């Protein structure tokens, strides 16, 4: 297929789901799920686009694991992958600036399949993974600061959103400050993330660079984006909104975060606006349900629990047939 049919259902598989299918060794309910997915892909009814973070998230695992999981995704993706977080977010920003509406299918692209994974490719991916960790470090420090300021007894055990999103507040202030500089000065010098002289761009500067170079953002469009973010934050920019919501939820749970957690959040923040159905681990399903994100983005979420897998099989069976 050159482009997905609008009737084609998009399925998101997280690392847990991919590992479970591989570990099933052709037996049990996970093999049944994989079989239905393969049948649906062959019939043009289902598609499991590859998360852009897949290669980085598996980079530090054994090469054989990377190869097996990548082969699985290659067989289920039809060559499609989900846009990486910076490109998905800036595409949403561009749409808001220009008054256009995006669909799920606008966040996936068909690209060249990476050549066969070997030790050299894995080492380069590990280097990319380490650089991404540097970019995420400031956000990681902010998230753990939020966690340290919310005492366990301060918030009820049951998730309730804070009166305002603390993560959203920080992100909004940073973004508006740099966008305002761009408007007043006519340009910005790309800053390093985490420390002076870093070769890894700060996330705001990376977003603005993509908007200027790839989306050819005009001054009037930049002003429109500034007003949008000032008034409603990132409520209409799904990847940023999802990530900030999940960071706040993790702070509520008092979980000390790592850069690995934040790479997983990036993966989820780009997948949720795409997926009709998501297959994730139990804690992630709980987060998506408790925060209301699953409902907001119209995604049916299943976990690896027996009851969920049985329901997933029943859901996939009519979708997969030709």
The pLDDT tens digits for 168-183 are: 888 999 999 999 999 9
Q: What is the pLDDT of residue 162?
A: 46
Indicate yes or no: pTM above 0.95.
Answer: no
pLDDT attached to residue 292: 93
Alpha-carbon distance values, 264 to 27, 57, 270, 283 (Å)? 28, 8, 10, 13
Give CA separation, 164 vs 98, 132, 170, 233, in Å.
Answer: 28, 28, 11, 11
214 SS3 class: coil
* 3-class DSSP state of 197: coil
Q: How many residues does the chain have?
A: 322
Tokens for 149, please give them: 């300021």
Instruction: Return the pLDDT at 154.
Output: 41
Instruction: Please report which confidence band the pLDDT of residue 153 belongs to, taking 50, 70 and 90 as the band edges.
Output: very low
Question: At 46, is the pLDDT very low, low, confident or very high (cuts 50, 70, 90)?
Answer: very high
Q: What are the C-alpha distances in Å from 300 to residues 17, 74, 77, 173, 315?
A: 15, 23, 19, 33, 10
| 108 DSSP 8-state letter | E
| Lowest-confidence segment of 152-156, 171-175, 235-239 by average pLDDT | 152-156
149 membership: H or E segment, kind and range:
helix 119-149
| Chain center to CA of 222 | 24
Give the pLDDT confidence score for residue 263 in this predicted structure. Answer: 76
Closest to 106 measured CA to CA, from 121, 115, 94, 118: 94
Task: Assign 39 a pLDDT band (cuts: 50, 70, 90).
Answer: very high
Structure tokens at 125: 């991916």
User: What count of other Cβ atoms lies within 10 Å of the Cβ of residue 46?
Assistant: 24
Strongest mean pLDDT among 47-61, 62-76, 201-215: 201-215
Residues 6+ apart with CB under 8 A from 246: 265, 268, 269, 287, 291, 293
Among the ranges given (30-34, 66-70, 130-134, 175-179), the one the predictor scored with the smallest mean pLDDT: 130-134
pLDDT tens profile 252-309: 765 566 656 767 888 899 999 999 999 999 989 999 999 999 999 999 999 999 999 9
Per-residue burial over 220-258, b = 16 or more CB atoms within 10 Å of its CB, e = otherwise: ebbebbbebbeeebbeebbbbbbbbbbbbbbbbbeeebe
Predicted confidence at residue 158, as pLDDT, reads: 52
200-234 residue pLDDT tens: 567 898 999 999 999 999 999 999 999 999 999 99
Q: What is the mean pLDDT of the chain?
A: 82
Q: What is the mean pLDDT of residues 234-243?
A: 94
- The CB density around residue 135, as the number of other CB atoms within 10 Å, is 21
Q: Would you list the domain boundaries of the chain?
A: 9-320
Pairwise pLDDT comparison (149 vs 246), residue with the higher score: 246
C-alpha–C-alpha distance, residues 195 and 178, integer Å: 17
């Amino acid at each position: 297929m050159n482009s997905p049919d609008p009737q084609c259902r998009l399925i998101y598989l997280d690392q847990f789901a991919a590992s479970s299918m591989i570990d099933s060794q052709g037996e049990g309910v996970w093999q049944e799920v994989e079989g239905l997915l393969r049948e649906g892909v062959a019939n043009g009814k289902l598609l499991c686009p590859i998360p852009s973070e897949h290669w980085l998230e598996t980079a530090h695992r054994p090469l054989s694991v990377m190869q097996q999981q990548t082969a699985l995704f290659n067989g289920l993706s039809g060559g499609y992958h989900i846009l990486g977080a910076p490109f998905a977010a800036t595409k949403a920003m561009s749409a808001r600036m220009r008054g256009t509406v995006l669909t799920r299918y606008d966040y996936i692209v068909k690209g060249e399949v990476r050549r066969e994974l070997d030790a050299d490719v894995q080492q380069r991916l590990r280097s990319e993974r380490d650089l991404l960790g540097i970019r995420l470090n400031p956000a990681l420090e902010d998230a753990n600061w939020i966690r340290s300021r919310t005492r366990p007894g301060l918030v009820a055990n049951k998730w309730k959103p804070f009166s305002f999103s603390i993560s959203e507040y920080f992100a909004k202030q940073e973004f508006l400050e740099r966008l305002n500089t761009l408007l007043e000065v006519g340009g910005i010098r790309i800053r390093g993330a985490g420390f002076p002289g870093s070769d890894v761009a700060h996330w705001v500067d990376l977003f603005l660079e993509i908007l200027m170079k790839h989306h050819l953002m005009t001054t009037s469009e930049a002003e429109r984006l500034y007003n949008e973010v000032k008034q409603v934050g990132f409520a209409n920019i799904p990847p940023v909104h999802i990530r900030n919501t999940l960071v706040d939820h993790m702070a509520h749970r008092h979980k000390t975060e790592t850069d690995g957690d934040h790479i997983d959040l990036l993966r989820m923040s780009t997948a949720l606006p795409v997926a009709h159905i998501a297959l994730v681990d139990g804690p992630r399903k709980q987060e998506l349900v408790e925060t209301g994100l699953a409902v907001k983005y119209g995604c049916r979420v299943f976990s690896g629990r027996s009851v969920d897998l049985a329901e997933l099989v029943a859901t996939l069976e009519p979708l997969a047939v030709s």
